Amino acid sequence: MPPRDPPGRGILVIVSSPSGAGKTTLTRRLLDEVPAIGFSVSYTTRPMRPGERDGVDYHFVDVAAFERMVEGGEFAEHAVVHGNRYGTAKAPIEAALAAGRDLIFDVDWQGGQALSAQWPEDALKIFILPPDLDTLASRLRRRATDAPDVIERRLRQAITELAHWDEYQFLIVNDDLERAYPVLRALYFLRRFGPPFVDGRDATPALATLAGVVMESQMRDPVAHARRLVAARER
């Protein structure tokens, strides 16, 4: 379904997950397919990684500059994650929403909570789940850019973050990118072009197809999957 100029206010597509569950890969793929969606570029005090670009992946600033923005009330949300500070500027969000432009956010649960609290009617909240904790750990340890102690800290934090799955409207189990991405895509297009759930008998064929993708994903019972992950974390 091709994108069209969005009527009315824009949508905040909030995608969260523990580190290593795949939210960045999934959001980048949706952006590649639908360039009309804007990507909210966060501010951070963490060092730039190889291949990253300032102003594209993040706005990289020092702690003093970040503090000035906090004191000036410029952030819609900000938090400390893995020892570094992250924040989302407020003014660009409101400008995009008012102009009818959609934005996608690749944020942790703290950012998702703060954004949806400020713009509850505009938010589409999606949480990405890993297939299991062993896979999550393996994905994090394959990251060559982080030191071993950083990876272990991220893993501990990632496992804790799983407990926030129930603050989101939709869950996607990312055990296979080619199966997870169509669900993210369908959720976005259904929100943009139709109601969250569409009765196939009354919907256009395109919307009915998208609704079928979402319904099939729910048959896998992602809620039960999330509960199993949290239970495994607590053992």
pLDDT tens-digit readout, 14-59: 999 988 888 999 999 999 999 999 988 999 999 999 999 999 989 9
Kindly indicate the confidence band of residue 145, based on its pLDDT and cuts at 50, 70 and 90.
low
Q: Answer whether residue 2 shows pLDDT above 50.
A: no
Q: Do the Cβ atoms of 170 and 197 come closer than 8 Å?
A: no
What's at 86, amino acid-wise? Y
**Model confidence over 164-218: pLDDT tens digits?**
999 999 999 998 899 999 999 999 998 998 754 444 444 466 767 887 888 888 7
The whole-number pLDDT of residue 195 equals 58
Beta strands in 59-212 (DSSP E): 59-60, 75-81, 84-89, 103-106, 123-129, 170-173
- Structure tokens that stand for 160 in this block: 């804790």
The whole-number pLDDT of residue 210 equals 80
3.40.50.300, 1.20.950.20, 3.40.220.10, 3.30.70.1170: which CATH number matches 12-39+101-233? 3.40.50.300
What kind and span of H or E run contains 14? strand 12-16
What kind and span of H or E run contains 208? helix 205-219
What's the CA gap between 169 and 184, in Å, rounded? 12
Tally DSSP H helices, then E strands, for the chain: 9, 9
The whole-number pLDDT of residue 197 equals 45
Angle at 17 between CA 13 and CA 23, to 5 degrees: 65
